[in-house]
A and B are shown apart, each in its own frame.
Chain A
Amino acid sequence: MKLLNRDAPPEAVTFLRVWVFGLWLVELLIHPLGVLGEIPVSLLDPVGVLRAVPGDAWGPLLQPELLTALWVATLALCLLSVVGLWAKPTLLLTSVLLTVHQGLLRSFSFVNHAELSLLLGAYVLTLFALFGPRPPRRSVGEATTPGAGSAPLVTLAFLIALTYSLVALTRFANGRLDIFLSDSMTYWLVSRSHRGNLLTTAFGHLALTHLWLRPVMKGAFFVTTVVELLAPLALVLRWFRYVFLAFVIAFHVIVALFMNILFIEDLFLLVVFLDYRKTIAPLLARLRRFGDAALSRVRPPAAAAVGVETAGPDERASNLVVLKGRADSQPDT
């Protein structure tokens, strides 16, 4: 048994930061806050630290302009977090504002879990940037230190696995076997499929007419819960990691198609269950090569031949070597 990503290099932290805050950027772009100013205050039930705000203050605070300004600030900070500019204060402020953003959305509805794993990702990166060990600097040509970038990656994978385990444990404790044997699953399939979140009517309604679907879904529910309970083992057992990923991906897709519930962030966050050195780093290297090749194709041939104004220092050196090689190969005349 070997811990996944224990030997991740420092670049892994950069990758995770870009991945998590990149996903947040998309989230924020899809979810502006201004509209909350138009929702009846009677639906407001502040969550978390937002409960500290006095009731009378909400009226002036929930102005569309103010909410939009907050959204824009969060968006800008998220962008800085992706870029990695002023890392510590930026990450801290971004995490605070993301919490407020998510808290406000939930204050007008209910505390769902969709984006909360991603929020955990932001906290992990922020806390490690603020309090974690400084990654060792490396000079050009020096090999990366094994494990220097592992802590945030391993911690986030651990916390996500823990949340899966918590759901399963609570399901077994509260629902006992009744939750798997009763009509609960059929009820969820029928009611959620008619809600029309993703699909106007999701496939869950088929449980009304295709009775064989009921025991199949109940069985799948039980097996998935067992896999969720064992989720932390995915960090140390490679074969179980594949089983876990297959089950969780299938589970999220089926839940989306049959129950109209899509945990897209959780799907994207499964990347932390991949081996950084074996899977992600080679993929990134291939992407970089592809990008470089595309850039060199775009670059005007004259400029590429001269190689002075447009190329970086490394490229300039290689161009010089090429020119020197050409000069060397010229026959003396």
Chain B
Amino acid sequence: MRRMLVVGSAVATFVLAAPVAAKADGWTCYYCGPAWLSSGEGHPSEYDGCNNFWTSNWLWKSDTALGTIAFIDTEGGWVVSRQTYEVNMVYGVDPANWVKKLYGKNSSGVGYSGEMRGWIWYVYTGCS
């Protein structure tokens, strides 16, 4: 009896808590670092959609040299982009519930260390 109660309680906890934990919003690195970015080197994220949407794109770089971030649609077109010398670039879009991928690039003539992250927003759309 005691063992059944313990096992039952543990199973109930796992079954009910696991889906909740899987739906948290948060930052995800799509080019994790700091890692070296050669001149002209760019990296895309995976495409979003199906209940999880990228809302923000963040590029950190170690140098005050040119960098680019972009939000790219399913056909590869740049919907929005930003380019600057500053060390940190972070942009959000609203609405974010359209299918996109993020992109970051070293647009300068020199190499630098960098990291690219995106903020995932969970929104239930009925997609499975």
Verify that A and B bind, or say they do not.
no
Give B contacts to A, CB under 8 Å. Answer: none
